[in-house]
A and B are shown apart, each in its own frame.
Chain A
Amino acid sequence: QSVLTQPPSVSAAPGQKVTISCSGSSSNIGNNYVSWYQQLQGTAPKVLIYDNNKRPSGIPDRFSGSKSGTSATLGITGLQTGDEADYYCGTWDTSLSAVVFGGGTKLTVL
Chain B
Amino acid sequence: QVQLQQWGAGLLKPSETLSLTCAVYGGSFSGYYWSWIRQPPGKGLEWIGEIKHSGSTNYNPSLKSRVTISVDTSTKQFSLRLSSVTAADTAVYYCARFVRPDPYFDYWGRGTLVTVSS
Contacts and interface: CB of A to CB of B under 8 A. Distances in A.
Interface of A: 2, 32-33, 35, 37, 43-47, 50-51, 56, 88, 90-92, 96-104
B104 A35 contact: yes
B108 interface: yes
Nearest to A35: B104
A50 B107 CA distance: 13
A45 B58 CA distance: 22
Given A33-B102, A97-B58, A103 B44 contact: yes
Given A97-B61, A98-B60, A98-B61, A45 B47 contact: no
Interface residues of B, number: 21
A32 B110 CA distance: 27
28 contacts: A33-B103, A33-B104, A35-B103, A35-B104, A35-B105, A37-B105, A44-B108, A45-B94, A45-B105, A46-B108, A47-B104, A47-B105, A47-B106, A50-B99, A50-B102, A50-B106, A51-B102, A56-B106, A90-B104, A96-B60, A96-B61, A98-B58, A98-B60, A98-B61, A99-B50, A100-B47, A101-B46, A102-B44
Contacts of B35: 99
- Per DSSP, chain B at the interface is strand
B44 A88 contact: yes
B111 A44 contact: yes
B45 interface: yes
Contacts of A50: 99, 102, 104, 106
Given A50-B104, A51-B102, A44 B109 contact: yes
